[in-house]
């Protein structure tokens, strides 16, 4: 890695992570999480917190892996070192076809939805807006990683505006009661547990992105020290922000209005109640900025995994190449953009895209967390100094157990999209089997 490309500081890493995580999920998923949690405000709030804790425990484990392998590629590198190239290729293939590119598609579509809330005449052109956003940000990140980081930091500050405003107003003037009405009484204990777990699964989309800094760890000035700090601070900070934000919304919006909000965007109902039409437009605009910033971060980091696959001979060599002038993985950037645009044109619904994104993450993140135990034996800490996850082995075990529970809930509650995800894995295995055999 060229030393001139080691440009990301710890604060830059925090901005990238938090900028990706605080994107759209916290703004539009509230209604879905509430419904999945049996319409219980308290239980849905608990789902947000538990989802954050599982993410934090997994992030701490990722921090140790990132300090052990401080290079670009992230999850792909860890899977390759722990289980071999086939497993690493499967993860990259799944992310390329459905998961990570699905995240890009979903963020772009949500950006189009927010724009259509601001400008009603744009409603028929949501997909066109989404595709245009992907093309623009692909070009921005082609010009250079530093520019992408600067854009991410600017949008990070901008997106905090509506969140902080809602939190302050919710604490100061919120009057709506946190009611305990729910539909869980009609369920068996097992059904209730699965419903709550599926609500937690939904929150993982809002927390999604916590793995992305590891994918560009090779560009950090001191990954072994700064990566763990950035992961810990970013994830812990986002958990606090999310919990306060959801609580404040519940205090500002009436119980029934939480379910009536258009496309689940009940933050806009809160904005209208607080600030009127002009204030609502301002909040909508800052939310659009937030989603755009998250989209930029995902477009920035995703291609580095495909580049790493190509460098290892598991993918077409052309995707390993960097632009001579900007030193960015130009062909991998283009590939990521093209597949994301195709997913938009296939018109998958939001729920299916959510499952595509989360399902693969649950499978491979579980395997990655298990790899931490393998590396502790193969590469002892005394011989390979690195950051060590605190609470080992309890914290990683809790994270693995949480991932397995959430994977089970996803299979039960969102069966068809999960089967599509498994089918992609099978196709990926066939591809790598015959490729390596040849």
DSSP-assigned states of every residue in 55-76: HHHHHHHHHHHHHHS-SBTTHH
Closest C-alpha to 47, from 250, 351, 349: 250
Q: How confident is the model at residue 301 (pLDDT cuts 50, 70, 90)?
A: confident
Q: How confident is the model at residue 5 (pLDDT cuts 50, 70, 90)?
A: low
pLDDT above 90 as % of the chain: 24
What does each C-alpha distance from 187 to 30, 177, 199, 408 come to in angstroms? 22, 25, 15, 18
Q: What does the pLDDT read at residue 96?
A: 87
Inform me whether the pLDDT recorded for 159 exceeds 90.
no
Q: What does the pLDDT read at residue 374?
A: 94
Q: What does the pLDDT read at residue 163?
A: 83
How far apart, in whole angstroms, are the C-alpha atoms of residue 334 and residue 142?
9
Per-residue tokens: 196: 């709550």
Inform me whether the pLDDT recorded for 1 exceeds 60.
no
Please list the residues that pair with 316 across neighbouring strands. Answer: none
Q: What does the pLDDT read at residue 148?
A: 58
Q: What is the mean predicted confidence (pLDDT) over 102-109? A: 91
Q: Which of 78-82, 92-96, 178-182, 356-360 has the lowest mean pLDDT?
A: 178-182
Per-residue model confidence as pLDDT tens digits over 48-94: 999 999 999 999 898 899 888 888 777 888 999 999 988 888 988 88
**Under a CB-based contact definition with an 8 Å cutoff, are residues 264 and 30 in contact?**
yes
Torsion, Cα of 335, 338, 341, 342 (10° steps)? -100
Contacting residues for 270 by C-beta, under 8 A, at least 6 apart: 166, 249, 252, 253
Inform me whether the pLDDT recorded for 279 exceeds 90.
no
The full DSSP string for 320-385 is G---TTT-S-HHHHHHHHHHHHHHHHTT--HHHHHHHHHHHHHHHHHHHHHHHHHHHHHS-TTTS-
Q: What does the pLDDT read at residue 145?
A: 59
Contacting residues for 247 by C-beta, under 8 A, at least 6 apart: 45, 170, 178
327-348 burial code (b ≥16 CB/10 A, e <16) = ebbbbbbebbbebbbebbeeeb
Contacting residues for 110 by C-beta, under 8 A, at least 6 apart: 24, 28, 291
Q: Which of 2-11, 64-73, 126-135, 136-145 has the lowest mean pLDDT?
A: 2-11
> What rounded mean pLDDT belongs to the chain?
85
Q: How confident is the model at residue 437 (pLDDT cuts 50, 70, 90)?
A: low
How far apart, in whole angstroms, are the C-alpha atoms of residue 329 and residue 319?
7
Closest C-alpha to 178, from 167, 186, 170: 170
Give the residue with greater pLDDT, 2 vs 423: 423
Residue position matching structure tokens 């894995």? 425
> Does a cis peptide bond (omega within 30 degrees of 0) precede residue 433?
no
Rounded to 5 degrees, what are φ and ψ at 216? -120, 30
Closest C-alpha to 255, from 26, 43, 39, 33: 39
**Under a CB-based contact definition with an 8 Å cutoff, are residues 193 and 184 in contact?**
no
Inform me whether the pLDDT recorded for 100 exceeds 70.
yes
Per-residue tokens: 235: 């994830």
Handedness of CA 76, 54, 234, 337 (dihedral sign): positive
Rounded to 5 degrees, what are φ and ψ at 419? -65, -40
* Cβ neighbours around 118 below 10 Å, total: 14
Inform me whether the pLDDT recorded for 16 exceeds 60.
yes
How far apart, in whole angstroms, are the C-alpha atoms of residue 72 and residue 383?
22
Q: What is the mean predicted confidence (pLDDT) over 340-362? A: 86
Q: How confident is the model at residue 274 (pLDDT cuts 50, 70, 90)?
A: confident
Inform me whether the pLDDT recorded for 387 exceeds 80.
yes
Alpha carbon 327 to its chain's center: 26
How far apart, in whole angstroms, are the C-alpha atoms of residue 166 and residue 299?
28
Per-residue model confidence as pLDDT tens digits over 222-248: 888 888 899 999 999 999 999 999 999
Q: Which of 156-170, 352-366, 413-427 has the lowest mean pLDDT?
A: 156-170
How far apart, in whole angstroms, are the C-alpha atoms of residue 285 and residue 159?
10
């Amino acid at each position: 890695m060229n030393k001139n490309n080691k440009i990301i500081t710890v604060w830059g890493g925090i901005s990238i992570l938090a900028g990706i995580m605080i994107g759209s999920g916290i703004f539009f998923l509230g209604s879905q999480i509430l419904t999945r949690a049996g319409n219980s405000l308290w239980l849905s709030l608990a789902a947000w917190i538990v989802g954050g804790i599982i993410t934090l425990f997994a992030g701490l484990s990722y921090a140790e892996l990132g300090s052990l392998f401080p290079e670009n590629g992230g999850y792909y590198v860890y899977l390759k070192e722990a289980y071999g190239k086939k497993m690493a290729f499967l993860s990259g293939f799944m992310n390329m076809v459905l998961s990570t590119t699905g995240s890009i598609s979903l963020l772009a579509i949500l950006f189009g939805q927010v724009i259509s809330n601001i400008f009603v005449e744009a409603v028929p052109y949501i997909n066109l807006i989404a595709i245009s956003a992907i093309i623009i940000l692909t070009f921005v990140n082609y010009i250079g990683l530093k520019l992408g980081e600067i854009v991410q930091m600017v949008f990070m500050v901008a997106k905090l505006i509506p969140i902080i405003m809602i939190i302050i107003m919710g604490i100061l003037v919120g009057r709506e009661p946190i009611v305990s009405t729910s539909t869980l009484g009609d369920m068996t204990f097992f059904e209730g547990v699965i419903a709550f777990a599926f609500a937690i699964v939904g929150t993982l989309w809002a927390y999604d992105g916590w793995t992305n800094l590891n994918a560009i760890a090779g560009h950090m000035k001191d990954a072994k020290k700064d990566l763990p700090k950035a992961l810990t601070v970013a994830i812990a900070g986002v958990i606090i922000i999310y919990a306060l934000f959801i609580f404040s919304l519940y205090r500002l919006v009436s119980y029934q209005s939480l379910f009536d909000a258009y496309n689940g965007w009940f933050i806009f109902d809160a904005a209208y109640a607080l600030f009127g039409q002009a204030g609502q437009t301002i909040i909508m605009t800052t939310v659009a900025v937030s989603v755009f910033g998250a989209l930029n971060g995902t477009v920035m980091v995703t291609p580095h995994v495909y580049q790493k696959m190509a460098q290892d001979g598991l993918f077409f060599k052309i995707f390993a190449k960097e632009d001579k002038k900007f030193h960015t993985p130009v062909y991998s950037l283009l590939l990521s953009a093209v597949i994301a645009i195709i997913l938009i044109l296939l018109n998958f619904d939001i729920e299916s895209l959510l499952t595509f994104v989360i399902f693969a993450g649950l499978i491979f993140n579980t395997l990655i967390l298990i790899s931490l135990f393998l590396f502790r034996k193969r590469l002892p800490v005394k011989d390979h100094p690195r950051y060590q996850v605190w609470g080992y082995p309890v914290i990683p075990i809790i994270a693995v157990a949480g991932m397995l529970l959430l994977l089970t809930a996803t299979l039960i509650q969102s069966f068809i999209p999960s089967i599509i995800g498994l089918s992609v894995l099978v196709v990926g295995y066939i591809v790598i089997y015959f490729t390596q055999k040849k």
